[in-house]
Structure 1
């Protein structure tokens, strides 16, 4: 028996060796397969065999054209733990495919030497979010203490050194960019480097230094920046105003006021900067000064800012309304202040009869802004006068009514071939004709898709006049009265404005639709059809008027959203500025799901609504790597405060864009940071000041964020 066992064992061993050799031969043959998945599987199988001689095969596979093969090769090289493969894995860490980058990072963690760690640390600052997150995991796997803090600090140092070198040795355009980037770091050393540059002979470099100082947030720079408002270079003055606005130092009020009052191209920026400063008696007085004495745009902006600050002294307004030289200033202040200037109404009403057209229009706007219904009879009387004045100008010189449809060959929306069929000129030939046919087919397909989706296409309005020979400026007085009649809800205004809603003049049509929107639910119903007009200015004015009216108008805009395609931005902008009802969530979720620029505005609104039913939609949007609305989606999730979003939001703490990292940290401060404290603590050494501050704020709130999110 014992003599028979040994030959059997030898035979079985030979069979197994022969089988393994045959399998290996097949794997080597598979490495030459034209199919990438077969080559990848062969690399994976060979790696499991652990044959040191196969290292050369894996090295060759790392150069394969297919990313799936390169990924398997990276893992195989890592399993070898051979120090010689570190450089090759470092190259794979820069691969164009993110999956290969991640697998190369994890492979480097298995080598566990200083060179592998150096590759991982260096590439963290050069890669996108997913790879950065894997690099941190790889360093943790290699038992590197404080892995994320180390790579964040290394990235911060690299950015600082690069910008500092560029500022000292780069070309002028490069130095401009470096100056701004140094300021964004918020470091004291950056402020010290930039302060001498604000007086540089190269204006664009001086302006960049000023912008950088504004981003740095160090108020030491105010003393150096404020005198630059007296310079004659618009770019430098604009940069200085922006920086002073960011630095929020009340000591700059008087200098900003001087610029706001000079009626120059940068005056409006200065007025806005004053309004953005912390509120104080000095800033209120400065805004009232601009409202009463500034140019039209600055005065209106300053006065509107004072609406929520209890307005300006009525005595000052009344004084200007009684002096001919300053009447218009007083009226503009009333327009901006609106209802808080109610006490000035008795001084405004007599000006409705002013012989000066400009004053009369301002008086109408002022009465409408105050919104006192007792002024309606005076405005109705003025309507009759303005109508009588414009009727001769608008007299039809063709008495017969014009057709409501285009004649044969004249419809601009008709196919090119059909238009040429009725044309006396020869149709286009050659490539031009083919292009026209192609565009016709595209328009037809787009129209068909819109119909199938239930969307209404905005079409050009068929003209009801051969030629509108009255200049729009001459119709503005009547238009102002129409808007005022709607605002004051004057008796009979609904029917009157409906009559103008189809007027041939876009000026009067816009005024009538805006007036209707201000008449309440019935007026909103009559006006909302105007959103399908092709004139963009009309659409914007009407959308804003509807949104300003509260729930009725906002519901109308929300109901129109599914019917619009490219024009959605007009509706969403109005809802973003004036709010939306809670029932808007479903329509807004659809917009977010469609992506594009519209998704950013829709996410903003959903965040303010704290729409918990939108969390899943927003999380799905975060999963889109190329989403242009990522920052807004993150902030919206933070506003909603649902803790189930924390993990997805936290991934963007690794994002390569500082704005996204800051938004993720801000969102986590509201959602809760219990499991993200390590990453947030690491970001306290981030290069960018706004990221550091957002991370610090999130950590400071870590004890209360979860409670607040319930």
Structure 2
């Protein structure tokens, strides 16, 4: 063979080999397996054959997301301007991976149309795709990429809401009014202020809510006037807006609403309580403590305990006359220890014939917390027991059995049919299925370590005493426990198993004030099925020194749906033991609404060991606790979480973006200035405020955290 023929034969072999490989790839494009089709697209793209563009176009319509993603990459590698529209469609794909690949592919085309697609879709996509879009624009050498898309998104939202407010149908205008207010722009305030007097009440109410979100105190005067309106929706919106605007100048008008004892009075007192402390706010709270409905008066009085209390003379004057004594007693009940100087004027009402005033006096002296009244309370207890003795005497002399018979035990398997009757196959199947469900639930409870609560065996065939009649006795039991009366521990232990729920609740709550021994007895009441009992007891334990919260944390893993109730009580309570970190982290890992409260508690106790768990929780894209997890990480201040937190600066929900900026501020992260600076152009005021505070050396991100 001549030497010159060898290069020719080698070239022929290579060509035939390549063609054979290409033929296989073309065949793989028809494979029923998505991963094979995707690999074929990827390898064909690597060959750089311009004629394959039509193959990639067809692959972009594939039913499998993995194939569409590879097609997007291949189309981008072609840098052909004709593929821009197709990549724009892929940017709207239902799969986030495809969206991200399409965004990066558009960055390679580098023309105005590709940039327009990226800018437009930023405001329509989720966090992951938004982050990729910004990176794609940076790759395309677009200066200030994130600032540009954030500003474009804000402009689009503003124009859309403004057009809807002027030309939309009434329901659309209502939504637009609220959204315009959230922008916080002065122009939005100017447009919404005239609408607060609109004849359409729902539109006026929406404008008021929007003005509250706008945060411009110019609107306080106009909104406060609406408190005199007769439309409940308008009044509610006005109170919500005034709460957000945080102007104590509105306290006198809110005070008038709080003491009128209407449906919106609780909202009015909540608004006053949210204000910064000022003389106007304190005066309003003291007025409500005297003249408000019991619930509002109690809330106002308790708030004034930490503020030095209220003037004693007006309360003392009320206590000196029977006609006004009730209002004076309810003020003392709210003020608690701060009203100790008034105890000599309160104690005589313990001996009054008026049952209502006597009961109020018992609650008032209990709140004051002075043990000097214990002998009087013990005497009242003896009188109350004697008065109920005849009503509560067992009319069945022998002791009732404490175990169910096999025919009546609720936990025993149900009989599929009545003995002596014809078997009912359908009923038997239902009974069998019900028993299987009960068994599975019981097994699941045992596997999780939760105790199986058995139904309480009745100790009475019929209770002749109505629950309302037992309220005075229950109040006295709580009082004796709260004031640590001699013999209270044994007394309340006896009532802790009483058949009456009010008495059992009072005894268990009273026991929480009697130290570790009392808490040890009371804690088991959390496993009772009565929801009101659980709620009252959980709150009492949360405020019972160190032993109470410790008992709650010990029981928390054993509880099911009641975890939320316990966590809420701990959040409202005075403290959580530092040892609670492991239990709270478990709750965070389980997710759900409980995770939000658990995350907040982890931040409160400065559980540094919880940082990895909280960071991991951010991987759950649809977590309802995301905002709370971010704020908890900020409170813990560990800079190792900065990268995970900063990803949420791209989140599509404004409250999450604001929380991320707030968290970065709290942890002192300084390497996200570009993204934070871009968010200063965000549509939503809360996001802009949080980003600005995070960038300011001496600022505070509290506004954005709300």
Query: So what's the TM-score if we normalise by structure 2?
Result: 0.97
Taking the TM superposition and a 5 Å limit, the aligned residue runs for 1:208-607 are 208-415=206-413, 418-421=414-417, 429-430=425-426, 434=429, 436-578=431-573, 579-607=575-603
Pick closer, same or farther for the CA change 1:165–1:413 going to 2, 3 Å.
Answer: farther
Give the aligned CA root-mean-square deviation in angstroms: 1.7
1:353-389 alpha-carbon deviations (Å, 9 max, x no partner): 1111111111111111111122222211111111111
Taking the TM superposition and a 5 Å limit, the aligned residue runs for 1:602-617 are 602-617=598-613
Taking the TM superposition and a 5 Å limit, the aligned residue runs for 1:194-213 are 194-213=192-211
Q: Secondary structure at the match of 2:182?
A: helix
Q: Secondary structure at the match of 1:375?
A: helix
1:539-585 alpha-carbon deviations (Å, 9 max, x no partner): 01001001101211000000001111221111111111113111111
1:521-545 alpha-carbon deviations (Å, 9 max, x no partner): 1100111011110001000100100
Matches of 1:548 and 1:36, distance apart in 2: 60
Matches of 1:240 and 1:567, distance apart in 2: 35
Matches of 2:618 and 2:429, distance apart in 1: 42
1:574-600 alpha-carbon deviations (Å, 9 max, x no partner): 111113111111110111111111111
1:18-66 alpha-carbon deviations (Å, 9 max, x no partner): 0000000000010111111111110000000000000111111111111
Pick closer, same or farther for the CA change 1:15–1:438 going to 2, 3 Å.
Answer: same
Matches of 1:461 and 1:205, distance apart in 2: 53
Q: 1:691, CA displacement in angstroms?
A: 0.6
Report whether the alignment pairs 1:651 with 2:643. Answer: no
Report whether the alignment pairs 1:666 with 2:662. Answer: yes
8 Å CA contact 2:417, 2:424 repeated in 1:
no
Which residue of 2 is the match for residue 149 of structure 1? 147
Which residue of 2 is the match for residue 11 of structure 1? 9
Q: 1:428, CA displacement in angstroms?
A: 5.9
1:181-218 alpha-carbon deviations (Å, 9 max, x no partner): 11111011111111111111111111111000011011
Pick closer, same or farther for the CA change 1:459–1:625 going to 2, 3 Å.
Answer: farther
8 Å CA contact 2:347, 2:361 repeated in 1:
yes
Q: Secondary structure at the match of 2:323?
A: helix
Matches of 2:337 and 2:328, distance apart in 1: 15
Matches of 2:483 and 2:680, distance apart in 1: 55
1:408-456 alpha-carbon deviations (Å, 9 max, x no partner): 34344444xx2445667777653x7645543432332121122122111
Pick closer, same or farther for the CA change 1:704–1:301 going to 2, 3 Å.
Answer: closer
Matches of 1:425 and 1:163, distance apart in 2: 70
Which residue of 2 is the match for residue 77 of structure 1? 75
Pick closer, same or farther for the CA change 1:152–1:437 going to 2, 3 Å.
Answer: farther
1:289-341 alpha-carbon deviations (Å, 9 max, x no partner): 11112221221111111111100112222111111011111111111111111
Unaligned runs of 5+ residues in structure 1 are 706-710
Q: Secondary structure at the match of 1:404?
A: coil
Q: Secondary structure at the match of 1:391?
A: helix
Matches of 1:439 and 1:117, distance apart in 2: 61
Report whether the alignment pairs 1:47 with 2:45. Answer: yes
Which residue of 2 is the match for residue 623 of structure 1? 619
Pick closer, same or farther for the CA change 1:703–1:482 going to 2, 3 Å.
Answer: closer
Matches of 2:635 and 2:421, distance apart in 1: 62
Deviates more, 1:440-449 or 1:191-200: 440-449
Pick closer, same or farther for the CA change 1:12–1:595 going to 2, 3 Å.
Answer: same
8 Å CA contact 1:646, 1:668 repeated in 2:
yes
Report whether the alignment pairs 1:125 with 2:120. Answer: no
8 Å CA contact 2:100, 2:129 repeated in 1:
yes
Q: Secondary structure at the match of 2:390?
A: coil
Matches of 2:107 and 2:422, distance apart in 1: 73
Q: 1:274, CA displacement in angstroms?
A: 1.9
Pick closer, same or farther for the CA change 1:428–1:144 going to 2, 3 Å.
Answer: farther
Matches of 1:163 and 1:423, distance apart in 2: 70
Instruction: Tell me which of 689, 694, 697 is aligned to 1:693.
Output: 689
Q: 1:459, CA displacement in angstroms?
A: 3.9
Matches of 2:671 and 2:465, distance apart in 1: 68
Q: Secondary structure at the match of 2:61?
A: coil
Q: 1:469, CA displacement in angstroms?
A: 2.6
Which residue of 1 is the match for residue 704 of structure 2? none
Matches of 1:565 and 1:154, distance apart in 2: 47
Matches of 1:74 and 1:570, distance apart in 2: 49
Matches of 1:426 and 1:335, distance apart in 2: 64
8 Å CA contact 1:572, 1:601 repeated in 2:
yes
Matches of 1:180 and 1:433, distance apart in 2: 57
8 Å CA contact 1:669, 1:702 repeated in 2:
no
Pick closer, same or farther for the CA change 1:121–1:436 going to 2, 3 Å.
Answer: farther
Deviates more, 1:126-135 or 1:372-381: 372-381
Query: So what's the TM-score if we normalise by structure 1?
Result: 0.96
